[in-house]
Structure 1
Amino acid sequence: MELTVIDSSVKPAEASGCSAGSCGSTDDQMSHLPEEIRQKVFNHPCYSEDAHHYFARMHVAVAPACNIQCHYCNRKYDCSNESRPGVVSELLTPEQAVAKTKAVAANIPQMTVLGIAGPGDPLANPERTFDTFRRLSEEAPDIKLCVSTNGLSLPESVDELAKHNIDHVTITINCVDPKIGAQIYPWIYWNNRRVFGEKAAKILIRQQQKGLEMLVARGILVKVNSVMIPGVNDEHLKEVSRIVKEKGAFLHNVMPLIAEAEHGTFYGIMGQRSPEPEELQDLQDACAGDMNMMRHCRQCRADAVGLLGEDRGEEFTMDKIESMNIDYDEAMKKRAVVHAAIEQELNEKRAKKERLASMFGSPATQSEKRPVLMAVATTGSGLINQHFGHATEFLVYEASPAGVRFISHRKVDQYCIGNDTCGEKESALSGSIRALKGCEVVLCAKIGYEPWEQLEQAGIQPNGEHAMEPIEEAVAQVYQEMDAAGKLDPAATVMTETA
C-alpha cells in the first residue's frame, strides 16, 4: 500500500479550482489560486498550513480596550507565564510597536506577518491601531499587516482597513443565534452604553455578518475564528461554518476553549470544561464538509513573536530593543534572500506531493485499513528534529489509506527540565502521555529509556528512526510498515492509556 500526502482542508469536489471567497489554506492547490491571492497566502503562517513550518509572525499589543465581554476571556497585563489570547507582558505605543516590529524583522528574517490582536479589540482602539498600521506600511512595506477583531466595530472600519492595504482580517464568530450568544457574551458596549443578553448578542451578530460581507466585497481575505465551548455552541458551530462560507470567508479556525480555573475567566471559575482532542477533531471534520479548516492555530498571546508554537517575546522587550543597532535597509535585503530560499523549498515540497499523488491509486482501489494518529516532535521546517523531552507541543497527524493529513497540536510540559524537584519530571511525563491520548506512535529525533518504556506501557510506540526526515513522508512510511506487519486491520484498534 502506497500513501500520498494530502492537505486536511482539500475536498475532492474542490480539486478543480477555487475562488478568493471559497478556497482556504489548501497548499496543494496553490497553482489553482489566482496569482494575487496566492501571493497573499503562501507565506502567511496562519493562512497556510505549510507556511507555518517556515514563516514567523508577531503581534504587537497596542489595543488595550475592548467593547465586549466574553465568558472565556480575562485580559492580563505584565504577564509572562500564560500563553493564550488576551495576555501581554508590555503594552506598546504605536511608535514602540513599529520599533519592535523592525527589530524582530531584522533578527528573525523569516518573519512575514504583523498582526494586532489585542489584548483588547483593535477596532475598539482605532487611533492606536491605525496609527501603527500607517507607520508600518511606510517603514516596513515588505511585512503583511493583519488584524483580529470581535467584529462589533468592523463595518465602520472597513474603509480604513482597505486604505492601509490590510489583506487579512480575522473575525471571531462564535454563534449566529442570539440565544446561544447570550450564553457566551454577558454584555457589549454599543452607542455609549452597555447592552446585555440576547439583545447584545443580536447586535454583535449583525455587525459581524455585515463586516464579513463588506470585507469580502473589497477583496480582503477573511479568516473566521470560533471557540468551541462544549454544551454551549459545539453543535451550533456547524451552522456558523456553513453561513460564513456562504458569505465568502476564506478559512475557518475552530479552536478549543481554554478554561483552566487559574486563568480567572468566568467559564474557568464556573467549571466549564474544555473539549477533548477527539471532540475538537470530530467537529473540525464535520465543519470541513462546508468550510476549509485551519488546524494549526496556537491561540497566540497578544504579543507573540516567532514561529507558531514558539514565543520569543522575551528577546524583544523594549529595553532590549533600545540597545539594538539595526540597519533595516540591510535587513530587508537579507529577508528577501531568506524568503526566496523558503519559497523555493516550499515549491519543491509541493511538487513532490503532486508526484506522489499521481502515483496514488483511486479511492476505489484503496484497501480498507483503519486510520492511525501519530504525534511528532518538531521545532519547525517540516522536519522531525526535536528530542522527545524537549518538546512543549506535539503535532498530530492522521495516516490512512487516503494519505497523511495534519490534525492538531497538543501542548505539553517539557520532560527534560533539569533537576527533578518535587517530581516535576514524572509529572511532566505523565502529562505528556495523557496529552497523546489516541496516538499510537510518537516520532522524535531522540528519546530516553524511561519515557520510551512508559510510552510503550501506555500503548504508544516511540520511534526515533526518522530524525531530520520530512514529517509527512516519515508518517507515511511508518504507516506502511504497520500495514506490512498486519497492524491496520479495522478490528485491531489500539487504545492508549490516559492515566
Structure 2
Amino acid sequence: MITIEDLLQTGRSGKKSVADGGGCSSSSCGSSSGPSDLAPEVWEKVKDHPCYSEEAHHYFARMHVAVAPACNIQCNYCNRKYDCANESRPGVVSERLTPEQGARKVLAVAQSVPQLSVLGIAGPGDALYDWRHAKATFELVAESLPDIKLCISTNGLSLPDHVDEIVNMNIDHVTITINMVDPKIGAKIYPWVFFDHKRHTGVAAARLLHERQMLGLEMLTARGVLVKVNSVLIPGINDEHLIEVNKAVKERGAFLHNIMPLISDPAHGTAFGLSGQRGPTGQELKKVQDACEGGAKMMRHCRQCRADAVGLLGEDRGQEFTLDKLPEFLEVDASKRQAYRDEIEIKREAHRNAKAAANTLAQESASAGAVTVAVATKGDGVINQHFGHAKEFQIYQADRDGVRFLGARKVNDNYCMGGVGEDSSLAQIIELLRDVDILLCAKIGDCPKSELKDAGIEPNDDYAYEFIEPSIASLYSTHIVEEAVEA
C-alpha cells in the first residue's frame, strides 16, 4: 500500500503542485481556485467560508437565523409552512425569531461551536424583502461578534434597492437564487411575484424578476461583493436551460454557480411535489454541472441547508439551540474561535500538501480512463465514517487531470438502522451509487460488502482515517497498473 508519506514525497518532486500555484483540480474554493490563484483580498473573504470554499467546508461551520419570514415571490418548489426536525431543505425552520432572539441564538452558538465562521440569513422568506428584521439582526451580531462573516440569501427581486446598505454593512457574500433567464421558463416556476404594491403573474412576472436579478447581480459585483448564484435543477423545465443561466451570470461577474437538485415530495405540500414533478438523479445533476464547466465556477459541495441550520455542512445541530435550550449566561469571547482557526490551519496545510501530491501521482499514473469514488466521511477531509452510519457520500473522480471533488449525495435512510429496513436502504444506496467504481469507508460489514461487489462497486476500508485525495490517487495508480497487466 502507498502511504501518505509516500505521496507527500511524490508531491515534493520537481513538478509544480497546487500549493505552488500550478492549478487545483481538487478545488480549494467552491471553484478550482486556491490561495495561489486568487487575489489576497478575495482569498481572505472565502478561505473560512464553508459555502464559498470547498476546502473550508471540511473545517468551518455556518449558521442561519430564521428572522425573515415574509416573501415577495411564490416558487412552485417552496412551502415555508412545512417543518420536520430531520428535513434538510431551504425554507424549513422550527422557530421564527425576532432580531433580538436571533442575535441571542448566534451568541449561544458562537460560545459552543468554535468552528463557527459565518452567519447567514436565508429566510424562511426573503431576507431583503424582510430587510428590517435582517438588518437589525446583523447590526446586533456585528457589534458583539465582529469576527463572524455576514452572508445573505435572496431571490433578487428587492436586491437593487439594498445594494448600498449591503456594502456599507460589510456583507461580503450574497447568494441570489436564479433559476432562469428566459421568462417563458420562469413562468413555469413562479406563479406570481409581488412588486411595487402589486401582484404580477405569468411571463410578465418572470420577466420582472429576471430583470431585477440581473441588475442586482451587476450592482453587487461592481461593488466588489462576492456573489454565489443558486439554481434549482427541475427536470423537463430548466435542466438544459441552466447552461444559459450559467453563461449569463458569469458575464455579470458571479463568483460561483451552485446548481442544486429539486427536492420534490408530496408530503412537503409544494406545487411541484403535489403535481408529481420529480427531482433529478445524482447522475442527471452531475451531467448538467459538467456541461457548465468552463462557465461560471461550479460549487459542488452544497447541502441545501434549512433556514435555521447550525454546524458543519452535512450536519445540522439546530435542535441543540432552540430558544428553550439557550444558556442563561452568554459569553462574548472570540479566543476559542481564534484558537481553533490557528490549530486548523496546520491541518489545512497538511491537507493541501496531500492533495497536491495526490494530483501529481494521479497525473503521472494517468491513462485515458477515469475512476469514480464514493467516500464515507464525517469531515476533516479524512475517510473516517463507517459505511452503515453514512447519511451522505462524497463523490470524487480521478483521471489524467488529478483528483477532484464532484459533489455529495444524500442517503434517505442509512444502512445501520437497528436491523429494520436494512435490505431496502442498501438497495437505495446501491442505486444512488450506480455510476461509482470504488467506495471508501472506515469500516464495512461482510453483507453490504458482498452486495456492493455484486453491483459492480468495489468497497474498500483499507484507507481508514487517511486523507481522501491521496487514498484515491493510490487506488487510481493501482487501477491503472492492473489495467496495464490485464491488457
- State the SS of the aligned residue for 2:138: helix
Report the CA distance between 1:229 and its aligned residue. Answer: 1.0
In structure 1, give the amino acid aligned to 2:375: V
Instruction: Report if the CA contact (8 A) 1:24-1:251 is conserved.
Output: no
- The 1:113/1:67 distance shift into structure 2, 3 A limit, reads same
Identity among equivalent pairs (%): 56
What one-letter code is carried by the residue in structure 1 that aligns with 2:466?
E
> 1:254-282 deviations in whole A, cap 9, x for unaligned?
11111122221111111112112122111
- Per the alignment, residue 15 of structure 2 pairs with none
What is the CA-CA distance between 1:373 and the residue it aligns to? 1.2
Verify: 1:147 aligned to 2:152, yes or no: yes
Structure 2 CA distance for partners of 1:105 and 1:404, relative to 1, 3 Å: same
Question: Structure 1 residues 26 and 267, CA, compared in 2 at 3 Å: closer, same or farther?
Answer: closer
What's the secondary structure of 1:52's corresponding residue? Answer: helix
Say yes or no: does 1:309 pair with 2:308: no
2:439 matched to which residue of 1? 442
Q: Deviations over 1:241-299 (max 9, x none)?
A: 11111111100001111112222111111111211212211111111111210000001
- Match 1:195 to one of 178, 188, 200: 200
Amino acid at match of 1:157: H
8 A Cα contact 1:28 1:354, kept in partner: no
Please tell me whether the aligned partners of residues 149 and 172 of structure 1 are also in contact (alpha carbons under 8 angstroms). yes
1:476 aligns with 2:473: yes
> How far did residue 483 of structure 1 move?
1.8
| Structure 2 CA distance for partners of 1:407 and 1:32, relative to 1, 3 Å | closer
Q: Is 2:452–2:458's contact at 8 Å kept on the other side of the alignment?
A: yes
In structure 1, list runs of 5 or more residues that go unmatched.
6-11, 493-499
TM-score (norm 2): 0.91
* Whole-angstrom CA distance in 1 between matches of 2:152 and 2:479: 44
Once residues 347 and 366 of structure 2 are traced to their aligned partners in structure 1, the CA distance between those partners, rounded to angstroms, is 32
**Structure 1 CA distance, aligned partners of 2:48 and 2:77?**
31
Task: Read off the aligned partner of 1:328 and give its amino acid letter.
Answer: V
Taking the aligned partners of 1:324 and 1:390, their CA distance within structure 2 comes to 34
SS state at 1:328 partner: coil
Look up the equivalent residue of 1:340 and give its one-letter code: D
Query: For 1:209 and 1:165, how far apart are their aligned partners in 2?
Result: 21
Which residue of 1 is the match for residue 399 of structure 2? 400
Distance in 2 (alpha carbons) for counterparts of 1:360 and 1:408: 19
Provide the C-alpha distance between the structure 1 equivalents of 2:340 and 2:81, rounded to a whole number of angstroms.
35
Maintained 8 Å contact 2:63/2:310: yes
- Pairing 1:121–2:126 present: yes
Change in CA separation of 1:177 and 1:419 when aligned onto 2, cut-off 3 Å: same
Measure, in 2, the Cα distance between the counterparts of 1:367 and 1:316: 48
2:370 alignment counterpart = 371
Asked whether 1:325 is paired with 2:329, we answer: yes
1:455 aligns with 2:452: yes
From 227, 242, 249, give the equivalent of 1:244: 249
What does residue 36 of structure 2 align with? 31
CA distance in 2, matches of 1:473, 1:359: 8
Q: Secondary structure at the match of 1:99?
A: helix
Secondary structure of the residue aligned to 1:32 is: coil
Task: Please list, as runs of the form range in 1=range in 2, the aligned pairs for 1:88-487 lying within 5 A after superposition.
Answer: 88-321=93-326, 323-329=327-333, 332-354=334-356, 367-412=366-411, 413-420=413-420, 424-486=421-483
Q: Unmatched 5+ residue regions in structure 2?
A: 12-17
Structure 1 residue runs of 4 or more that deviate by more than 6 Å after TM superposition: 1-5, 15-18
Change (3 A) 1:178 1:28: closer
CA contact (8 A) 1:297 1:308 kept: yes
Aligned residues: 469
Per the TM alignment, residue 75 of structure 1 is displaced from its structure 2 partner at its CA by 1.1
Q: Secondary structure at the match of 1:417?
A: coil
TM-score, with length taken from structure 1: 0.89
**Separation of aligned partners in 2, 1:169 and 1:24:** 16
How far apart, in 2, do the equivalents of 1:145 and 1:480 lie? 43
Question: What do the CA deviations read for 1:159-190 (whole angstroms, capped 9, x no partner)?
Answer: 11112110000000111111111111110011
The SS at the match of 2:437 is strand
Deviation at 1:345, TM superposition (A): 2.1
Tell me the residue number matched to 1:495: none
Aligned equivalents of 2:422, 2:359: Cα separation in 1: 43
Q: 2:128 is matched by which residue type in structure 1?
A: L
Measured after TM superposition, the shift of residue 86 of structure 1 is 0.8
Asked whether the equivalents of residues 24 and 293 of structure 1 are also in contact (C-alpha less than 8 Å), the reply is no
Task: Tell me, yes or no, if the aligned pair for 1:42 and 1:51 is still in contact at 8 Å.
Answer: yes
Question: What's the CA shift for 1:488?
Answer: 10
* CA distance in structure 1 between the aligned counterparts of 2:66 and 2:259, rounded to whole angstroms: 23
Deviation at 1:385, TM superposition (A): 0.2
460 and 160 in structure 1: CA distance in 2 versus 1, 3 angstrom threshold: same
Greater CA drift, 375-384 or 408-417: 408-417
Q: Is the 8 A contact 2:155 2:178 kept in 1?
A: yes
Check 1:481–1:180 CA distance in 2 against 1; reply closer, same or farther (3 A cut): same
Residue identity opposite 1:327 in structure 2: E
Residue 58 (structure 2) pairs with residue 61 (structure 1):
no
Letter paired with 1:338: Y
Looking at structure 1, the residues matched to 130 and 427 of structure 2 have their Cα atoms a distance apart, in angstroms, of: 43
RMSD: 2.4
Tell me, yes or no, if the aligned pair for 1:28 and 1:353 is still in contact at 8 Å: no
